[in-house]
């Protein structure tokens, strides 16, 4: 299946999890890829599995200069960037009362500033071409507090959603063909939980964890049919709707699935 052979797609956090799975899928569909992450060995393995036009760029996306280097490498290899997916991120296992300054700083650095750097780095190129697509991988936790042990992660994804929406509004009038999207998964069956700050429950063992392949298909469809926000399962959007239309959200929070997993 070669439905994306006209796309050059950059994916951050591409050495594992959702990023690696998206790379393999869109590579199969014919896309040219630039895959970025810190872990060189894992990243190059994913690139080798993602088709003949996959470029691995070792980079720490919490450093602005290295994100700008991804843009330079992409343009040097392929001459353009059609889609930029800010996927890099990390969880945390601490409730609000336990958070330190460094906990919150890291969540903002990894989950928000890295995406901001990506948006700001690729925007001049997209504005010059007057088209492009920025996709920020967020979370249902950006909208509703399903897991209080992910409090700082949730806060960072709230911030990411706000930046994403405001950029979309800023571009709409002058650059209607530059799309800015958010993807909102719930729990996904990857090693995300194990890699969280302070460790945590294995996401692959959580009840109702979504197979990563389902998330990948949602993102692939979003690339082909851009829209502002997409939930990776319809029930997540329904739950968000119920939460924000409740007369008192505390009533919703007292019911399942608003629970704190055991550590």
Cβ atoms within 10 Å, residue 249: 15
All residues at 6 or more sequence positions from 184 whose CB lies less than 8 Å from its CB, including other chains: 138, 139, 140, 142, 143, 229, 230, 231, 232, 236
Of 153, 198, 231, 243, which is the active-site residue? 153
Helix axes 212-224, 17-28, angle to 10 degrees: 50
Alpha carbon separation from 206 to 8, 103, 214, 217 (Å, rounded): 34, 24, 16, 21
Q: Please tell me the distance from the alpha carbon of residue 144 to that of residue 83, in angstroms, as a whole number.
A: 28
Alpha carbon separation from 68 to 116, 152, 253 (Å, rounded): 11, 27, 41
Based on the residue annotation, tell me whether 236 is a catalytic residue of this protein: no
Enzyme catalytic residues = 153
């Amino acid at each position: 299946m070669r439905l994306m052979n006209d796309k050059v797609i950059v994916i951050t956090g591409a050495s594992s999890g959702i990023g690696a799975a998206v790379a393999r899928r869109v590579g199969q569909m014919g896309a040219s890829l630039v895959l970025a992450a810190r872990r060189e060995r894992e990243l190059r393995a994913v690139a080798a599995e993602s088709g003949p036009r996959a470029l691995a760029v070792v980079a720490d996306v919490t450093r602005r200069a290295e994100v700008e280097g991804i843009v330079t490498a992409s343009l040097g290899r392929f001459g353009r960037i059609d889609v930029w997916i800010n996927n890099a991120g990390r969880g945390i296992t601490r409730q609000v009362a336990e958070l330190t300054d460094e906990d919150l700083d890291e969540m903002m650095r990894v989950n928000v500033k890295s995406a901001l750097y990506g948006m700001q780095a690729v925007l001049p190129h997209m504005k010059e071409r007057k088209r492009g697509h920025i996709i920020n991988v967020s979370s249902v936790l950006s909208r509703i507090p399903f897991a209080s042990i992910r409090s700082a992660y949730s806060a960072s994804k709230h911030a990411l959603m706000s930046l994403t929406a405001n950029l979309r509004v800023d571009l709409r009038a002058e650059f209607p063909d530059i799309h800015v999207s958010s993807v909102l998964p719930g729990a996904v069956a990857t090693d995300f939980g194990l890699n969280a700050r302070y460790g945590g429950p294995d996401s692959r063992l959580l009840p109702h964890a979504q197979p990563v392949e389902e998330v990948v298909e949602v993102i692939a469809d979003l690339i082909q049919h851009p829209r502002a926000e997409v939930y990776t399962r319809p029930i997540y959007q329904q739950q968000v709707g119920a939460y924000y239309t409740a007369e008192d959200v505390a009533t919703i929070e007292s019911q399942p699935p608003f629970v704190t997993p055991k550590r």
